[in-house]
Amino acid sequence: MKTKKKLTLILYFLIPFIAVLLVKYSLRTSNDDYVSVDKKNNETTKELASVEGKMMLPDTVDFIFHVKPILSDRCFLCHGPDEGTREAGLRLDTEEGAFAAIGENLDRYAIVPGDVNKSQMVHRINAAEPEKTMPPLESNLSLTDYEKQILTKWIEQGAVWKEHWAFLPPEKKQVPKVANIEWISNDVDHFILKRLEQEGLQPSEKASKEKLLRKLYFDLTGLPPSLSQIDAFMNDDSKDAYEKIVDKLLASTAYGEHMASSWLDLSRYADTHGYQDDLERVMWPWRDWVISAFNRNLPYNDFVEWQLAGDLLPNATLEQILATGFNRNHKITQEGGVIDEEYRVEYVMDRANTTSKALMGLTMECARCHDHKYDPISQKEFYSFYSFFNKVDEKGRIDYDEIPKPNIKITPKEVKEMLSFINLPDSISEVYPMVMKDGAANRKTYVLNRGVYDAPTDEVEAGTPEVILDYKKSFPKNRLGLSKWLFDEDNPLVSRVAVNRMWQQIFGVGIVATSDDFGNQGDLPSHPNLLDYLAVTFREEGWDMKKMYKRMVMSSAYQQTSKVTPELLELDPDNKLLARSSRSKLSAEMIRDNALAVSGLLVKKVGGPSVKPYQPPGLWAETTSGQGLTKYIPDVGEGQYRRSLYTFWKRTVPPPSLMTFDAPTRDFCEVKRQKTSTPLQALAMLNDPQLIEAAEYLAQRILNQDNLSDKDRVETIFRKITTRLPAEEETNKLLAYLKSAKDSYKPIEDDIENKEIPNKETHAYTVLTSLIFNLDETIIKG
Amino acid sequence: MEEITKHFINNNRRHFLKKMGLGIGGLAAASLLDPFSSFAGNEAPNLTGLNLPHFAPKAKRVIYLFQSGGPSQLELFDYKPLLQKMRGQDLPDSVRQGQRLTGMTSGQASFPLVGSSYKFDQYGESRAWVSSLMPYTAKVVDELCFIKSMHTEAINHDPAITFFQTGSQQAGRPSIGSWMSYGLGSLNKNLPTFTVLLSRGTGRPFSQPLYSRLWGNGFLSSLHQGVQFRSGKDPVLYLKDPDGMSRSERRNMLDHISELNRKQEEEFGDPEINSRIAQYEMAYRMQTSVPETMDIDKEPEHIIQMYGADALTPGTYAANCLLARRLIEKDVRFVQLYHMGWDQHENLPKQIEKQAKDIDQATAALIMDLKQRGLLEDTLVVWGGEFGRTNYSQGLLTDTNYGRDHHPKCFTMFMAGGGVKPGFTYGETDDFGYNIAKDPVHVHDLQATIMHLMGIDHTKFTYKHQGRRFRLTDVSGHVVKDILT
B125 and A CB contact within 8 Å: no
Nearest to A72 by CA among B469, B258, B383: B469
pLDDT (tens digit, 9 = 90+) per residue, B198-232? 999 999 998 899 999 999 999 999 899 999 999 88
Q: Across residues A706-723, what is the average pLDDT? A: 96
pLDDT (tens digit, 9 = 90+) per residue, A146-173? 999 999 999 999 999 999 999 999 999 9
B81 and A CB contact within 8 Å: no
β-bridge pairing B334-340 and B379-384: unpaired
What integer pLDDT is reported at residue B2 of this predicted model?
53
H-run or E-run covering A55:
helix A42-56
What integer pLDDT is reported at residue B207 of this predicted model?
85
What integer pLDDT is reported at residue A752 of this predicted model?
53
First CA to last CA distance, chain A: 49
What integer pLDDT is reported at residue B262 of this predicted model?
96
Q: Decide if pLDDT at B141 tops 50.
A: yes
When mean pLDDT is compared across A26-30, A430-434, B315-319, the lowest value belongs to A26-30
H-run or E-run covering A108:
strand A108-109
pLDDT band at A6 (very low <50, low <70, confident <90, very high): low
- Residue A206's beta-bridge partner residues? A560
Q: Across residues A360-372, what is the average pLDDT? A: 95
Q: What is the share, in percent, of chain B residues with pLDDT greater than 90?
A: 82
B460 and A CB contact within 8 Å: yes
What integer pLDDT is reported at residue B100 of this predicted model?
86
Q: At what angle do helices A241-250 and A209-221 cross, to 10 degrees?
A: 20
Nearest chain A CA: its distance from B41 CA (Å): 12
| Ramachandran angles phi, psi of A545, nearest 5° | -70, -45
Q: Decide if pLDDT at A18 tops 80.
A: no
Of B207, B248, B268, the CB nearest to A563: B268
Q: Decide if pLDDT at A15 tops 70.
A: no
Interchain contact, A39 vs B276, CB within 8 Å: no
A168 and B CB contact within 8 Å: yes
A24 and B CB contact within 8 Å: yes
- Per-residue b/e over B18-43, b at no fewer than 16 CB within 10 Å? bbbbbbbbbbbeebbebbbbbbbbee
Q: What is d(CA A70, CA A203) in angstroms, rounded to the nearest whole number?
A: 33
What integer pLDDT is reported at residue A54 of this predicted model?
46
- Give the dihedral sign, CA A587/A588/A593/A598: positive
Q: Decide if pLDDT at A28 tops 60.
A: no
H-run or E-run covering A571:
helix A566-571
Query: A-contacting residues of B 432-451, CB under 8 Å?
Result: none
What integer pLDDT is reported at residue B47 of this predicted model?
47
Q: Decide if pLDDT at A23 tops 90.
A: no
Amino acid at A204: S
Q: Give contacts of B236 with chain A, Cβ < 8 Å.
A: 680, 683
Q: What is d(CA A678, CA A365) in angstroms, rounded to the nearest whole number?
A: 31
Of B14, B31, B48, the CB nearest to A56: B14
Q: Decide if pLDDT at B326 tops 90.
A: yes
Q: How many residues does chain B have?
A: 485
pLDDT (tens digit, 9 = 90+) per residue, B10-67? 444 333 333 333 333 333 333 333 434 433 333 333 445 678 899 999 999 999 999 9
Q: By the 8 A CB rule, do A315 and A294 touch? A: no
- DSSP character for A402? P
Q: What is d(CA A536, CA A530) in angstroms, rounded to the nearest whole number?
A: 10
What integer pLDDT is reported at residue B107 of this predicted model?
87
What integer pLDDT is reported at residue A10 of this predicted model?
53
Q: Decide if pLDDT at A675 tops 80.
A: yes
H-run or E-run covering A761:
helix A760-773
Q: By the 8 A CB rule, do B95 and B366 touch? A: no
Q: Decide if pLDDT at B5 tops 90.
A: no
B168 and A CB contact within 8 Å: no
Q: Decide if pLDDT at A58 tops 80.
A: yes
Nearest chain A CA: its distance from B203 CA (Å): 13
Q: What is d(CA A546, CA A562) in angstroms, rounded to the nearest whole number?
A: 24
pLDDT (tens digit, 9 = 90+) per residue, B265-274? 999 999 899 9
Q: Give contacts of B3 with chain A, Cβ < 8 Å.
A: 62, 64-65, 162
- Grouping H, G, I as helix, E, B as strand and the rest as coil, residue A456 is strand
A749 and B CB contact within 8 Å: no
SS (H, E, C) chain B: CHHHHHHHHHHHHHHHHHHHCCCCCCCHHHHHHCCHHHHCCCCCCCCCCCCCCCCCCCCCEEEEEEECCCCCHHHHCCCCHHHHHCCCCECCHHHHCCCCCCCCCCCCCCCEECCCCCCEEEECCCCEEEECCCHHHHHCHHHEEEEEEEECCCCCHHHHHHHHHHCCCCCCCCCHHHHHHHHHCCCCCCCCCEEEEEEECCCCCCCCCCCHHHHCCCCCCHHHCCEECCCCCCCCCCCCCCCCCCHHHHHHHHHHHHHHHHHHHHHHCCCHHHHHHHHHHHHHHHHHHHHHHHCCCCCCHHHHHHHCHHHHCCCCHHHHHHHHHHHHHCCCCEEEEEEECCCCCCCHHHHHHHHHHHHHHHHHHHHHHHHHCCCHHHEEEEEECCCEECCECCCCCCCCCCCCCEECCCEEEEEEECCECCCEEECEECCCCCCEEECCEEHHHHHHHHHHHCCCCCCCCCEEECCEEECCCCCCCCCCHHHEC
- Residue A274's beta-bridge partner residues? A332
Of B18, B182, B280, the CB nearest to A36: B182
Query: B-contacting residues of A 324-353, CB under 8 Å?
Result: 331, 333, 335-340, 346
Q: What is the share, in percent, of chain B residues with pLDDT greater than 70?
A: 90
Shortest CA distance from B181: residue in chain A: A36
Q: Decide if pLDDT at A734 tops 80.
A: yes
Q: By the 8 A CB rule, do A382 and A344 touch? A: no
Of A195, A339, A684, the CB nearest to B103: A339
Interchain contact, A514 vs B466, CB within 8 Å: yes
Torsion of CA B131, B135, B138, B143, to 10 degrees: -140
Q: Half-sphere exposure of B66 toward its Cβ, with a 13 Å CA cutoff?
A: 29
What integer pLDDT is reported at residue A180 of this predicted model?
96
A395 and B CB contact within 8 Å: no
Nearest to A527 by CA among A140, A44, A195: A195
Q: Across residues A727-734, what is the average pLDDT? A: 97
- DSSP character for A487? T
What integer pLDDT is reported at residue A29 of this predicted model?
29
Q: What is the share, in percent, of chain A residues with pLDDT greater than 90?
A: 86
Q: Give contacts of B206 with chain A, Cβ < 8 Å.
A: 624-627
What integer pLDDT is reported at residue A457 of this predicted model?
97
What integer pLDDT is reported at residue A759 of this predicted model?
83
Q: Decide if pLDDT at A50 tops 90.
A: no
Nearest chain B CA: its distance from A33 CA (Å): 8
What integer pLDDT is reported at residue A337 of this predicted model?
87
Query: B-contacting residues of A 524-543, CB under 8 Å?
Result: 524-529, 532
pLDDT (tens digit, 9 = 90+) per residue, A735-773? 999 999 999 887 766 555 555 454 889 999 999 999 999
A44 and B CB contact within 8 Å: no
Shortest CA distance from B7: residue in chain A: A65
A197 and B CB contact within 8 Å: no
Q: Decide if pLDDT at A1 tops 50.
A: no
Q: Could you report the predicted ipTM of this complex, rounded to two decimals?
A: 0.89
Query: B-contacting residues of A 283-322, CB under 8 Å?
Result: none
H-run or E-run covering A457:
strand A456-460
Residue among A22, A23, A24, A139 with most chain B CBs within 10 A, to mutate: A24
pLDDT (tens digit, 9 = 90+) per residue, B453-468? 999 999 999 999 999 9
Q: What is chain A's mean pLDDT, rounded? A: 91
Q: Give contacts of A683 with chain B, Cβ < 8 Å.
A: 236-239, 283, 286-287
- Grouping H, G, I as helix, E, B as strand and the rest as coil, residue A477 is coil
Residues 6 or more apart whose CB falls under 8 angstroms from that of A546 comprise A250, A255, A297
H-run or E-run covering A780:
strand A780-781
Interchain contact, B51 vs A41, CB within 8 Å: yes
Q: By the 8 A CB rule, do A721 and A773 touch? A: yes
pLDDT (tens digit, 9 = 90+) per residue, B95-107? 999 888 888 888 8
- Residue B414's beta-bridge partner residues? B146, B383
Shortest CA distance from B18: residue in chain A: A28
pLDDT (tens digit, 9 = 90+) per residue, A611-655? 999 999 999 999 999 999 999 999 999 999 999 999 999 999 999
Q: Give contacts of B248 with chain A, Cβ < 8 Å.
A: 744
A363 and B CB contact within 8 Å: yes
pLDDT (tens digit, 9 = 90+) per residue, A84-114? 899 999 999 999 999 999 988 888 999 999 9
Shortest CA distance from B270: residue in chain A: A564
Interchain contact, A514 vs B51, CB within 8 Å: no
Shortest CA distance from A375: residue in chain B: B467
Nearest to A243 by CA among A548, A560, A554: A554
Nearest chain B CA: its distance from A149 CA (Å): 15
Residues 6 or more apart whose CB falls under 8 angstroms from that of B174 comprise B166, B182, B216, B217, B218, B219, B220, B224, B463, B472
H-run or E-run covering A321:
helix A318-323
| Ramachandran angles phi, psi of A434, nearest 5° | -75, 150
Q: What is the share, in percent, of chain A residues with pLDDT greater than 70?
A: 92
A7 and B CB contact within 8 Å: no
What integer pLDDT is reported at residue A753 of this predicted model?
55
Q: Across residues A68-93, what is the average pLDDT? A: 93
Q: Decide if pLDDT at B282 tops 70.
A: yes
Most distant CA atoms of chain A, gap in Å: 97
Of A528, A734, A770, the CB nearest to B1: A528
Listing DSSP states for A194-213 in one string gives: HHHHHTT--PPPBPPHHHHH
Nearest to A296 by CA among A278, A323, A324: A323
Of B1, B264, B269, the CB nearest to A529: B1
Strand locations in A274-384 (E) = none
B39 and A CB contact within 8 Å: yes
| Ramachandran angles phi, psi of B72, nearest 5° | -80, 115
Of A66, A170, A573, the CB nearest to B16: A573
Of B244, B260, B272, the CB nearest to A730: B260
Q: Decide if pLDDT at A30 tops 50.
A: no
- Give the dihedral sign, CA A150/A151/A155/A161: positive
- DSSP character for A332? B
B205 and A CB contact within 8 Å: yes
Q: What is d(CA A434, CA B216) in angstroms, rounded to the nearest whole number?
A: 28
Q: Decide if pLDDT at A401 tops 60.
A: yes
Return the number of other C-beta atoms located less than 10 Å from residue A370's C-beta: 18
Q: What is d(CA B307, CA B361) in angstroms, rounded to the nearest whole number?
A: 6
Nearest chain A CA: its distance from B107 CA (Å): 10
Q: What is chain B's mean pLDDT, rounded? A: 90
CA-based R_g, chain A, Å:
29
CB–CB contacts below 8 A, A to B: 356
What integer pLDDT is reported at residue A19 of this predicted model?
43
Of A170, A576, A682, the CB nearest to B283: A682
H-run or E-run covering A495:
helix A494-507
Of A24, A626, A740, the CB nearest to B252: A740
Most distant CA atoms of chain B, gap in Å: 82
B200 and A CB contact within 8 Å: yes
Of B25, B170, B279, the CB nearest to A677: B279
